[in-house]
A and B are shown apart, each in its own frame.
Chain A
Amino acid sequence: MEKIKIENVSKIFGRHINQALKLVEQNKSKTEILKQTGATIGVYNANFTVNEGEIFVIMGLSGSGKSTLVRLLNRLIEPTSGNIYIDGENISKMNKKQLINVRREKMSMVFQNFGLFPHRTVLANTEFGLEIRGISKEERRLKAEKALNNAGLLPYKDQLPGQLSGGMQQRVGLARALANDPDILLMDEAFSALDPLIRKDMQDELLDLQQKVRKTIIFITHDLNEALRIGDRIALMKDGEIIQIGTGEEILTNPANDYVRTFLEDVDRSKVLTVENAMIRPISLNIDIDGPKVALQRMREEEVSVLLAVNKLREFKGYITADDALEASKKGENSVINYVRTDMPIVPPEMYIQDVLGIISDSKTPLAVVQEEKLVGVLIRGVVIEALSSSDENEGVTENVSIS
């Protein structure tokens, strides 16, 4: 379901707007336009839709217009032209009163520097949206306390924001937004002011929360790792224009132009790549059917010394070494079931490579990639290192590489 729709929205700051618009059409750069007209391009001709329950990330360098774009959604900044629809209603055509109602009921905003009122206690801050709406004292206290409780902050309710750490302050910021129970959350670099570890926690919390409450979230960041981590879809902005929209995967594998490509380059690949990107096709043996002779034959054929053991349903059971297979064959066994070793670590395909590095360096064997019991791939040390250092996206990695 379509929740937000943006149609040809532009915002030009300053005067000589028409002149500036003409220059944009002539593909003049932002600085050139500023020099000639004194007008600044905030956002130019933005078009996109956001679906209900989606986390839509807007990403771009400083000054690319992210904050402007998100503020156009609740008209903290008035659009110069274009239409903004929320639930099919045209926000840009609303009068003051209608706009206030939309802000009160449909969307709440979370700010980069938390935007907490220093003179109000944590509880009073959390109550703010409800208070503005004229909700009774008891009810708003109840709702605010519940929101604080969910954030684990109830014990701090009587403190002033200045007494809390940054991470806690932003939890209050988020609780204040959620106490209002809006459909839409607008988050402008909400985690950018936090240090990396807290930031990661907050991202996780947001994702957990999203599992439970299913809001439509517009999330601004200039950090690609963050975007990839939490975004269902990502819009990339440059100089006020949206230059690519897609899932993280789409943008990574198929950058729209050189700008996107350069932007992607500074990503720490280990944080972006998942096991799935680096795993290779497993060479396996169906232990329900195949015996030691077939195992040895397969090893010769594939030039490997280890086979992964699966059953008829392709469920992962362990692995067979060449030595074991040879011994079974000598003893005249016609099954290798008793020779399956089980000390191979298992990882899920969606795990980040970064998190796998520790496991793989501790393990004597490669790692089995298992999804819902089924063997889907194998991860070996050489390939992981290659994937981390390769300059172009995981091509050549998914090829069949022998395990040893």
Chain B
Amino acid sequence: MSQFLDFIPKIPVADSVEDAMDLLTDTFAGFFDVIKKSGKFSMEFVTDFLVMIPPVLFILIIAAIAFFATKRKFGLAIFSIVGLLFIYNQGLWEELMNTITLVLFSSVIAVIIGIPLGILMSKSKVAETIIQPLLDFMQTMPGFVYLIPAVAFFGIGVVPGVFASIIFALPPVVRFTNLGIRQVPKELVEAADSYGSTGWQKLYKVELPIARPTIMAGVNQTVLLSLSMVVIASMIGAPGLGRNVLSALQQAKVGNGFVAGISLVILAIIVDRLTQSFNKKRQ
């Protein structure tokens, strides 16, 4: 019986995928190169700018934003000051800025791609049936799987790191946008239609504003997912706190790993609470 199974020759899936990838990278080499160079340039520019800001000023700005975003409560503001001072004290300031840039770029791009995709899904049954399984697939894949195409397209460095993060962080914002728009009460959609709205008017004046809280919940998750990718992205050379965690792991330095890890958690908490409060504020 097992002989019969062995009778079927091995289907060359791996080889075919490799060939396809090669073809892709070869054909679009110029394109990928442009993206890589401009991406690297603009990210370095942002990091340099962030590093240039005096840390005290930076911390105060974040604390002020936290204070006002949480309806003038002191909790998050104080947490931000203490947390950021800790990171500075541990000598991880530049790494923090690199991580912020990475998260900023990957989540902003994920949102820019994700929201229109979610809108498309909510409007078209066909788009939904195509995109839905793709999203399921993307969410079941472990993050580092995306490193493979990232490296193939962009080599190593920060740009492939962002690329992998975008793919990993994309699903929630797409899903929540789709969900948010589909959840707009039928009567309100009918009201918009019955007054003679065009599709765009309906989208801008009714659907997006009403779906906003749901979409923002998706944005929040996307930002956190891209933050969770920083360690993995550092495996292919993205700079930042992730790199410290990774090297601590490789050299079994528990102490260093702990400090870098805590720094990431501090950043995650600040980012999470901030994006959530932006959401609540205007409800």
Verify A111–B205 contact, CB threshold 8 A. Answer: no
Verify B205–A131 contact, CB threshold 8 A. Answer: yes
The verdict on B61 contacting chain A, using a C-beta distance below 8 Å, is no
**Interface size of A in residues (CB-CB distance below 8 Å):** 27
Q: Per-residue 0/1 for A72-110: is the Cβ within 8 Å of any B Cβ (1 yes, 0 no)?
A: 001010000000000000000000000011111101110
The verdict on A119 contacting chain B, using a C-beta distance below 8 Å, is yes
A76 contacts across to B, CB distance below 8 A: 190, 193-194
The verdict on B269 contacting chain A, using a C-beta distance below 8 Å, is no
Q: Per-residue 0/1 for B187-222: is the Cβ within 8 Å of any A Cβ (1 yes, 0 no)?
A: 110110111111001000110011010000000000
Q: Total contacts A to B, CB within 8 angstroms?
A: 59
A52 CB to closest chain B CB, in angstroms? 21
The verdict on A129 contacting chain B, using a C-beta distance below 8 Å, is yes
A180 contacts across to B, CB distance below 8 A: 195
Verify A100–B194 contact, CB threshold 8 A. Answer: no
Nearest to B202 among chain A residues (CB) is A132
Nearest to A99 among chain B residues (CB) is B196
The verdict on A352 contacting chain B, using a C-beta distance below 8 Å, is no
Complex Cα distance A112/B188, Å? 11
Complex Cα distance A76/B189, Å? 10
Verify B191–A109 contact, CB threshold 8 A. Answer: yes
B216 CB to closest chain A CB, in angstroms? 13
A132 contacts across to B, CB distance below 8 A: 195-197, 201, 205
Verify B209–A119 contact, CB threshold 8 A. Answer: yes
Nearest to B282 among chain A residues (CB) is A119
Nearest to A118 among chain B residues (CB) is B210
A68 CB to closest chain B CB, in angstroms? 12
Complex Cα distance A104/B188, Å? 16
Complex Cα distance A180/B196, Å? 11
Knowing A111-B187, A117-B188, say if A133 contacts B196 (CB, 8 Å): yes
Nearest to A115 among chain B residues (CB) is B191
Complex Cα distance A71/B190, Å? 9
Complex Cα distance A133/B201, Å? 10
Nearest to B206 among chain A residues (CB) is A117
The verdict on A219 contacting chain B, using a C-beta distance below 8 Å, is no
A134 CB to closest chain B CB, in angstroms? 10
B193 contacts across to A, CB distance below 8 A: 76, 103
Max chain B C-beta neighbours (<10 A), residue from A74, A180, A186? A74
Range, interface on chain B? 10 to 19
Within 8 Å by CB of B195, from A71, A112, A116, A128, lies A128
The verdict on A113 contacting chain B, using a C-beta distance below 8 Å, is yes
Verify A115–B188 contact, CB threshold 8 A. Answer: yes
B167 CB to closest chain A CB, in angstroms? 33
B190 contacts across to A, CB distance below 8 A: 71, 76, 109, 111, 115
Knowing A118-B210, A119-B209, A132-B201, say if A101 contacts B196 (CB, 8 Å): yes
Verify A117–B195 contact, CB threshold 8 A. Answer: no
Nearest to A186 among chain B residues (CB) is B194
B204 CB to closest chain A CB, in angstroms? 11
Within 8 Å by CB of B196, from A104, A113, A117, lies A104
Verify A100–B188 contact, CB threshold 8 A. Answer: no
A74 contacts across to B, CB distance below 8 A: 194
Docked complex: B49-73 residues within 8 A CB-CB of A: none
Within 8 Å by CB of B187, from A100, A105, A112, A131, lies A112
Complex Cα distance A200/B206, Å? 32
B201 contacts across to A, CB distance below 8 A: 132
A182 CB to closest chain B CB, in angstroms? 10
B196 CB to closest chain A CB, in angstroms? 3
Verify B195–A129 contact, CB threshold 8 A. Answer: yes
Complex Cα distance A71/B187, Å? 12
Verify B196–A115 contact, CB threshold 8 A. Answer: no
Nearest to A107 among chain B residues (CB) is B194
B212 contacts across to A, CB distance below 8 A: 119
A115 contacts across to B, CB distance below 8 A: 187-188, 190-191
Within 8 Å by CB of B191, from A100, A102, A107, A117, lies A117
A105 contacts across to B, CB distance below 8 A: 196
Complex Cα distance A118/B187, Å? 12
Verify B210–A119 contact, CB threshold 8 A. Answer: yes
Docked complex: A108-161 residues within 8 A CB-CB of B: 108-109, 111-113, 115-119, 128-129, 131-133
Verify B194–A103 contact, CB threshold 8 A. Answer: yes
Verify A111–B209 contact, CB threshold 8 A. Answer: no
Complex Cα distance A71/B189, Å? 13
Within 8 Å by CB of B210, from A71, A103, A108, A117, lies A117
Knowing A119-B210, A132-B201, say if A103 contacts B195 (CB, 8 Å): yes
Give me 11 A-to-B residue pairs in the complex whose CB atoms sit less than 8 angstroms apart, sorted by A's number. A104-B196, A108-B194, A108-B195, A109-B195, A111-B191, A117-B191, A118-B210, A119-B212, A129-B195, A132-B195, A132-B201
B binding-site residues for A, Cβ under 8 Å: 185, 187-188, 190-191, 193-198, 201, 205-206, 209-210, 212
A binding-site residues for B, Cβ under 8 Å: 71, 74, 76, 100-105, 107-109, 111-113, 115-119, 128-129, 131-133, 180, 186
